[in-house]
Structure 1
């Protein structure tokens, strides 16, 4: 388990740091979905722990620019344990946001 940091002095709840939260979000989502871990495109501290947006390859294709990607919102508690996730977007790997 990662080293914890207190966000509210020594008496408040312990919270893992941002780098560890990013690793936990990608790894636990990949384990749940049985896929390769993807990149974390957003990370926010919340009252309950962390919220992260994780990008994964849902359907690999050749060439890889035609692969189907998905963005998932992942909720972690203060210690980095998965509390929930939801798919928020599906898109082609080569697609650029406008």
Structure 2
């Protein structure tokens, strides 16, 4: 299937809903999206632990593999960080 903007948005929305449902946490946004063979691979940012002030929230990035219908094939957490942290952990 071709990479269309409309389909990518639909898959992103479905993946965010599924990540929120599976983790029981608030999925905030998709920060990466790519096609790998027949799968979509997305990185979704999730509020892992809410704190006051919210700049100290613990965030997590989940890598999610989904099919064209938005069904999760596999998912795992790739990093955890404080929301206000700026930088690259690589």
Q: Contact between 1:49 and 1:79, CA under 8 Å: does it hold in 2?
A: no
TM-score by length of 1: 0.81
What's the offset of the Cα at 1:49?
2.0
CA RMSD of aligned residues (A): 1.4
TM-score by length of 2: 0.87
2:67 corresponds to which of 68, 73, 77 = 77
Q: Secondary structure at the match of 1:38?
A: strand
Between Structure 1 and Structure 2, which shows a larger proportion of helix residues? 2
Do structure 1's residue 25 and structure 2's residue 29 form an aligned pair?
Answer: no
Do structure 1's residue 39 and structure 2's residue 29 form an aligned pair?
Answer: yes
Number of residues of Structure 1 aligned to a counterpart in Structure 2? 85
Mind listing any 5+ residue stretches in structure 2 that lack a counterpart? none
Deviations 1:26-75 (A, max 9, x none): 11000000112221000001212200000011000000000100000000
Runs of 4+ in structure 1 off by over 2 angstroms are none
